[in-house]
Amino acid sequence: MFKVDPRKLVGPAMALVLFGFAVKLLITEAGKVTREEFVGGITSIEPAYLVIASILIALNYGLLTCYDLLALRYVCRVLPLRRVVLVSFLGYSLGNNLGTLIAAAPIRYRFYHRWGLTHTQIVALMSVLALTFWSGVCVLGGVALTLAPIELPAKYALPFGTRTLGIILLSVTAFYGLVCLFWHKPWPIGKLHLRPPSVGLASVQASVAAVDLLISATALYLVMPGGADVPFSMVLAAYLVAIVVSLISQVPGGLGVLELILWTLLKDTVGQPVLASVLIFRILYYILPLFVGMIVLVAHEIYSGAVEAQTDARIEQNRPPESLRNDNPDPPFIDAS
pLDDT digits (tens, 9 = 90+) for 237-246: 888 888 777 7
Per-residue pLDDT of 258-292, as tens digits, reads 777 777 777 666 666 777 788 888 889 988 898 89
* Residues in Cβ contact with 287 at an 8 Å cutoff, skipping those fewer than 6 apart: 26, 29, 97
What integer pLDDT is reported at residue 320 of this predicted model?
65
CB atoms within 10 A of CB 173: 22
Lowest mean pLDDT among 4-18, 163-177, 194-208, 296-310: 4-18
**Residue 336 within a domain:** no
User: Residue 193 pairs with which residues in a beta bridge?
Assistant: 188
What integer pLDDT is reported at residue 334 of this predicted model?
44
- Total domains in the chain come to 1
- One-letter identity of residue 316: E
Which range of 56-65, 115-124, 220-229, 288-297 scores highest in mean pLDDT? It is 56-65
**Residue 337 within a domain:** no
pLDDT band at 206 (very low <50, low <70, confident <90, very high): very high
pLDDT band at 203 (very low <50, low <70, confident <90, very high): very high
Q: Are 111 and 87 in contact (CB under 8 A)?
A: yes
**Residue 317 within a domain:** no
* pLDDT exceeds cutoff 60 at 327: no
End-to-end CA distance of the chain: 44
For the residues of 177-222, what is the DSSP string, one character each? HHHHHH--SPEEETTEEEPPPPHHHHHHHHHHHHHHHHHHHHHHHH
CA dist 199 and 135 (Å) reads 12
What integer pLDDT is reported at residue 40 of this predicted model?
67
What average pLDDT score do residues 164-175 get?
92
For the residues of 81-138, what is the DSSP string, one character each? HHHHHHHHHHHHHHHHHH-IIIIIHHHHHHHHHHTT--HHHHHHHHHHHHHHHHHHHH
CA dist 294 and 292 (Å) reads 6
**Residue 192 within a domain:** yes
What integer pLDDT is reported at residue 24 of this predicted model?
66
CB atoms within 10 A of CB 223: 27
Q: What phi and psi, each to the nearest 5 degrees, are found at residue 187?
A: -95, 120
Classify residue 226 by its DSSP letter: T
Per-residue pLDDT of 83-139, as tens digits, reads 999 999 999 998 887 777 778 888 999 999 999 999 989 999 998 999 999 999 999
**Residue 291 within a domain:** yes
pLDDT band at 305 (very low <50, low <70, confident <90, very high): confident
What average pLDDT score do residues 8-14 get?
57
* Residues in Cβ contact with 120 at an 8 Å cutoff, skipping those fewer than 6 apart: 191, 192
**Residue 93 within a domain:** yes
CA dist 337 and 129 (Å) reads 71
Q: Are 274 and 263 in contact (CB under 8 A)?
A: yes
CA dist 275 and 281 (Å) reads 10
Domain residues for the domain of 90 are: 11-305
**Residue 333 within a domain:** no
Q: Answer yes or no: pTM beyond 0.85.
A: no
